[in-house]
Amino acid sequence: MEKKMFCLEELLSNKNQKEALRYIETKKDSLGSDGLLLSELKEFWSLNSSAILSQIKNGSYVPTIVKQCQLLKTSGGYRTISLFGNLDRFLLRMLAQKLERYMNPLFLANSFAFQAEKGVLAAIQQAKNYLIQGNSIVIEIDLYHYFDTIPLDRLNQQLEAYFSDQRVREFIQAYLFCSIESEGRVFTQFKGLIQGSAISPILSNLYLHPVDCYLESRGFNWLRYADNLYIYVASKEEALPIYQEIRQLLVDEFQLVINEKKSGIFSAFNRRVLGYEFYLKNNIVECQKHHYTRFIYSSRWHPSQLQFANRQYYIIENGILNKKDYSLLFENEEHKHHLPIEVVEQINIYSEVVISPQTLHLLYDKKIPLVLHNQFGDIQSYFIPESMRSSAPILLAQSQLYLSEEKRVTVAKQFELAHLHNMRANCRYYLKKFRSNGILRNLEQELTNGMNAVRTTKSVDDLMLLEARAKQQYYQLYNEVLNQEQFCFTKRTKRPPRDALNALISFCNTVLYSQVLRLIWKSRLDPKIAVLHASNNRPYSLHLDFADYFKPIIVDRVILSLINRHQIHMPQHFEYKEDGAVWLNSAGKRIVLEALESKFHTRLVLKHTTYTYHQLIQRDVQLFKKFILGDRDVKRFTPFKYY
């Protein structure tokens, strides 16, 4: 490859400095991590440029530590925000200007992201042209967290092939491997570009440039926009070997991760591309932008607690919860965070938190339940506003159902059938990936037999016995699906969990229980009176009836995904106690909570209506309430079964 790039002198030229300063001056004034205001940068540079340029030239310049935090996106999930020093923003802009000038002409015409005079509309026009040519099948490959997974050592090798001036390479490396501070920890990352850096978009295009060249050399009808790769072909038969080939190239050679949920082979007229939809109108290919229905999310979250999009806070660090004016303030030695009272529907505490009397008065006025969990995740105590407690007619109706053995068994069967059905649905889901797995095949049959046995069972005790046997068999699924040897299921242990996998299961279950319990309180059902589970000395039982059949499709799917995608790790995300107990630590809990939030708001279609999992739980609770209050036709109460 011809080494014909800019040298350090050209990078640091007065012309390039002035251009970068003009660009910086158009930005809103802000304080950088170096304590320098953006409005003061020009004066600072005029006074200190000679010394800084000398450091860059002799290779001794060290960028200011980059401070990172996470923000809740309007679409759900989180994105990392990086706060650079304003001096580094200026120097990165100088780098970006030269990289764009020299690199962009090298990129191929079908690479559309992060380049002037290109963009989404140009990419959509190219896709439309492929459809007009008769290529009605699209191979879509979505790279999972692309910016965060680029191996920097390999990217560095690519830079060496372009730059003959070692000083330029070392200056770029100073920013690739700079120090980062996040949650009080300072580290250097060796995988992933820092999002928010001016040079990261250009370098992300550079890393995939060899892939673009390969696609072009093969004569494919392709286009790429950042981490989204599309190849258009005429038939599915033609698509399959191409998909496997490019997928293997990206994984094996470029060490990237494929987003399995979004990647595959699809009909181009049934697939949304970069937010646009294609359709035929009078045999003419047309396209239009898809209009999304958005959920409303809070704009901030904090490491000490994470707010779900469905308006719950999970406090997982020690601190004080107090009233501040007409809202709530959570604080400890390290953090302060305001909880906007108008968007909070429940607060769950998993740590040692001091709660002031004024806080309880405010929660009472705003009808917000507060739930305290012990170290096992079980509900230890709770504060429920009077307006959310069960009314007499509902309490009587639930009691009548519980005391009528015949009616109780009939309804309990509905819960149990949904539970076994959803366990079987999980088996069938993973059998699509492991078709020759005999253990999963046998498990599917055993669960089918269990469902048949449920239909003929005469007592609730026998139903619970069948459930216990089914669960014992079902947990085999973990060892057949997991791809990390450190996580292995031997037996279910709780209070306390004895290994990392059981710690994950226990924590995820408590989060699901909390979700269900809030919806039961909201409906004013009495959570003490269950159907399938006995109403005994435990504080609540009804939430177990609903949560159990959602566990396989929410909890188990999340855990298997987190482990198989290497998002949760041993031992760094767990605490190991002297008594043999194993718990998720704060960092692990945050990862799990984020994944569960995403799962709760995954959409699926039931009887031509789109629901999220959160809405499905709410739907089932309301169906049950309607059933006990008058509509006693058990056929109308059908707990959700995953299709």
Please give the mean pLDDT across all residues of the chain.
Answer: 85
pLDDT higher at 71 or 382: 382
CATH 3.30.70 location in the chain = 106-149+197-287
Strand duo 137-142 + 264-267: pairing: antiparallel
pLDDT band at 11 (very low <50, low <70, confident <90, very high): very high
* Mean pLDDT of the region 27-32: 88
Q: In b/e form, how buried is each residue of 435-463, taking b as 16+ CB within 10 angstroms?
A: eebeebeebbebbeebbebbeebeebeeb
Quote the DSSP letter at residue 301: -
CATH 3.100.10.20 location in the chain = 305-386
Comparing 163-167, 310-314, 538-542, 552-556, the range with the smallest average pLDDT is 310-314
CATH 1.20.120.920 location in the chain = 390-627
Q: Domain 305-386: which topology?
A: Ribosomal Protein L15; Chain: K; domain 2 (3.100.10)
Write the DSSP string, 590-634.
HHHHHHHHHHHT-EEEETTEEEEHHHHHHHHHHHHHHHHTT---G
Query: If you average pLDDT over each of 84-88, 184-188, 431-435, which comes out highest?
Result: 84-88
Indicate if the pLDDT at residue 223 is higher than 50: yes
Indicate if the pLDDT at residue 63 is higher than 90: yes
**pLDDT tens per residue across span 500-559:** 888 888 888 888 888 888 888 878 888 888 888 887 766 778 888 889 899 999 999 899
Give the residue numbers of the binding site.
467, 533, 548
Give the pLDDT of residue 564. Answer: 86
Q: Are 503 and 497 in contact (CB under 8 A)?
A: yes
Which residue carries 């100088």 as its tokens?
94
pLDDT higher at 214 or 523: 214
> CA-to-CA distance for 59 and 57, rounded, in angstroms?
6
Backbone angles phi, psi at 151, to 5 degrees: -70, 120
Strand, coil or helix: 107 = coil
Comparing 15-24, 142-151, 329-338, 456-465, the range with the smallest average pLDDT is 329-338
What are the beta bridge partners of residue 319?
353
> CA-to-CA distance for 545 and 418, rounded, in angstroms?
10
* Mean pLDDT of the region 37-46: 94
Helical spans, DSSP H, in 524-608: 542-551, 557-564, 586-600
- CA dist 350 → 211, 305, 440, 521, 612 (Å): 47, 10, 36, 20, 26
Q: Which amino acid is at 446?
A: E
Q: Which CATH number fits domain 106-149+197-287: 3.30.70, 3.30.519, 1.20.1270, 3.30.9?
A: 3.30.70
SS3 content of the chain, % helix, strand, coil (to 5): 50, 20, 35
Intra-chain end-to-end CA distance of the chain, in Å:
53
> CA-to-CA distance for 359 and 327, rounded, in angstroms?
9
Length of the chain: 643
Residue 25: both structure tokens together: 């001056």
CATH classification (class only), 390-627: mainly alpha
**pTM passes above 0.85:** no
pLDDT band at 375 (very low <50, low <70, confident <90, very high): low
Q: In the Cβ-directed half-sphere of 177, how many Cα atoms lie within 13 Å?
A: 12
Could you count the other beta carbons within 10 Å of the beta carbon of residue 585?
Answer: 15
Q: Are 523 and 397 in contact (CB under 8 A)?
A: no
Write the DSSP string, 366-417.
HT--EEEE-TTS-EEEEE--GGGSPPHHHHHHHHHHHH-HHHHHHHHHHHHH
Give the residue numbers of the binding site for Mn(2+).
467, 533, 548
Give the pLDDT of residue 334. Answer: 66
Give the pLDDT of residue 379. Answer: 67
pLDDT band at 326 (very low <50, low <70, confident <90, very high): low
Query: Please, is 528 exposed, middle or buried when counting C-beta atoms within 10 Å of its C-beta (0-12, 13-18, 19+)?
Result: middle
Give the pLDDT of residue 71. Answer: 55
> CA-to-CA distance for 541 and 85, rounded, in angstroms?
53
Collect all residues with Cβ–Cβ distance below 8 Å to 386 and sequence separation of at least 6.
Answer: 364
pLDDT band at 633 (very low <50, low <70, confident <90, very high): low
Which residue carries 């009836």 as its tokens?
545
Q: Nearest CA to 296 among 363, 330, 329, 345?
A: 345
Give the pLDDT of residue 640. Answer: 86
> CA-to-CA distance for 480 and 74, rounded, in angstroms?
37
**pLDDT tens per residue across span 519-536:** 888 788 888 888 888 877
